[in-house]
Structure 1
Amino acid sequence: MSFKFAPWPLPANVQAGWTTRQGGFSGAPYGSFNLADHVDEAPATVAANRQLLQQRLPGAPRLTWLHQTHSNIVVNAVAADLKQEQDGSYSRAVGLACCVLTADCLPVFFWTADGSQVAIAHAGWRGLADDILLASLATFDPGSRIYCGIGPAIGPAAFEVGPDVRVAFKSWPGYERFFRPKSGKYLGDLAGLATQQLLAAGVQKVYRANACTVQSPELYYSYRRDGQTGRMANLIWKLAL
């Protein structure tokens, strides 16, 4: 199993990070550490990968999986329900990991300065335009000092989109600078858009992994690059100190 801990200054009782595609039980085209159960891989293989992940994480937290649909719905992790569309979760409990699966979309991590609450959101361009990040921030107590991090995702050199995606952000201040024209289309900077919105909403600082899923096939799954592919898990949780 391969897991990268987020290289950000987290509170002592908070852990965060993401898996890579390496070190699991999956065969082609999911080789080798797919954590998604909706991509037509054998359920037993996915279950074995998930068990391996949980066993090797500090504190062996309980993992809470979501039914992700590019919505803007954020729930308490204890209420995670695979029968309902949910694209973000938060937790104040120890040993309960908030988790989203990605293969190009932004995984956005949230935590308070004192480590009292953590959260995570799955933000593709639809969810981002529909304010899932603001919905995540709304789960925190007023006055909380909140920090964020953005994990591996499709980068601005690889995210080619049509005018419809650009138009979806036309109400965002300065949105034009996050879309660079290219042969009748645009190269979009999702992480840049997310960072701007988070800082404008009062987040203290936004850290970024600066890793492009499309350009790192040896480490990361990418739906844009491969089509049929697996998913990485992005996790944040509280430890008992």
Structure 2
Amino acid sequence: MTLEIITSPLLDPLRHGFFTRRGGASSGIFAGLNCGPGSSDQTEIVEINRTRVARAMEVEDRDLITVSQVHSATALPLTAPPEGKPEADAVVTATPGLALAILTADCQPVLFADAEAGVIGAAHAGWRGALDGILEATIDGMESLGARRARIRAVIGPTISQRAYEVGPEFLDRFLEEDPENANFFAGGDGDRVHFDLPAYGLHRLRAAGIAEADWTRHCTYSDPHRFYSFRRTTHAGEADYGRLISVIRL
């Protein structure tokens, strides 16, 4: 099956893509393009999937760069493939030929570009990372490499949508303690439960940071099992593990 790659005109003319699970070699609960070495999928199959992504991005396997994502606010500047898997939740570069990649399964994959300056970034922004400032850290990291904030464009890829993201009162309280205006990103649920709008919150943080444009592809990972992996859907289904989607941008 052919790889399915979602793109955005905001990031043109740079090569980029939010890859769905279609077109991969994995089977069973991982069926499709599982690119997560942290899953219990067969290591050699994950490598085959990642090689397919590298070929689609026209880079060597070693230049398809992922890091050890830990829900932090750390953005790592790179000039070459790193040794090992450093802990970070965003990567930025001005080096042609490097493909910056993020793995997700409900969290926001966010791709950034200042095409004029030749600076790109990729961030993994779950609720904790977004709240702690990973999006702003990515923008700061790009500026340190010569990007201009007013030229940066960012796109949020497939992520969990509000209707599928039910949370408890302690979750809401954490956001309200940060800023009472964050109530705008929550809607009522059953009992004391509420629904959180993660992509709307991500767009708010991006736009408040003063970049040129920000958008969301409007794909929900939870509600489309044929195209996307979802940690929350897997949990609700009682499955043993889940695949990871990959999102990539390169100069």
Q: Please, what TM-score do these two structures have when normalized by structure 1?
A: 0.92
Question: Does the alignment pair 1:215 with 2:223?
Answer: yes
What residue in structure 2 maps to residue 234 of structure 1? 247
Tell me the alpha carbon deviations over residues 201-236 of structure 1, each in whole angstroms, 9 at most, x when there is no partner. 101111110000001111000010013210110001
Between structures 1 and 2, the one with greater helix share: 2
Q: Which amino acid aligns with 1:9?
A: L
What residue in structure 2 maps to residue 132 of structure 1? 134
Distance 2:82 2:219 in 1: 28
| Distance 1:143-1:57 versus aligned 2 partners, 3 A rule | closer
What residue in structure 1 maps to residue 194 of structure 2? 186
Tell me the alpha carbon deviations over residues 19-71 of structure 1, each in whole angstroms, 9 at most, x when there is no partner. 11111111111002100011111111111111122122245682001101111
Number of residue pairs matched by the alignment: 237
Tell me the secondary structure at the aligned position of residue 56 of structure 1.
Answer: helix
Aligned residue runs from structure 1 range 79-158, under 5 A: 80=82, 82-141=84-143, 143-144=148-149, 145-158=151-164
Q: Is the 8 A contact 1:129 1:168 kept in 2?
A: no
Farther off after superposition, 199-208 or 60-69: 60-69
Distance 1:115 1:11 in 2: 14
Tell me the secondary structure at the aligned position of residue 164 of structure 2.
Answer: coil
Tell me the alpha carbon deviations over residues 48-101 of structure 1, each in whole angstroms, 9 at most, x when there is no partner. 111122122245682001101111111023364544321110111111011110
Aligned sequence identity (%):
30
| Distance 1:172-1:98 versus aligned 2 partners, 3 A rule | farther
Distance 1:54 1:34 in 2: 14
Deviation at 1:111, TM superposition (A): 0.9
Farther off after superposition, 55-64 or 154-163: 55-64
Q: Which amino acid aligns with 1:179?
A: F
Q: Which amino acid aligns with 1:46?
A: V
What residue in structure 2 maps to residue 177 of structure 1? 184
Distance 1:59 1:66 in 2: 17
| Distance 1:67-1:81 versus aligned 2 partners, 3 A rule | farther
Distance 2:119 2:165 in 1: 32
| Distance 1:40-1:182 versus aligned 2 partners, 3 A rule | same
Distance 2:41 2:4 in 1: 21
Tell me the alpha carbon deviations over residues 125-184 of structure 1, each in whole angstroms, 9 at most, x when there is no partner. 111111111111111227442111100000011011112222222223621010112121
**RMSD value, Cα:** 1.8
Question: Does the alignment pair 1:202 with 2:202?
Answer: no
Q: Is the 8 A contact 1:67 1:81 kept in 2?
A: no
Q: Is the 8 A contact 1:178 1:192 kept in 2?
A: yes
Distance 2:104 2:117 in 1: 24
Deviation at 1:8, TM superposition (A): 2.0
Distance 2:130 2:23 in 1: 31
What residue in structure 1 maps to residue 17 of structure 2? 17
Distance 2:72 2:103 in 1: 14
Deviation at 1:2, TM superposition (A): 1.6
Consecutive unaligned residues of structure 1, counting only runs of 5 or more, are none
| Distance 1:3-1:173 versus aligned 2 partners, 3 A rule | farther
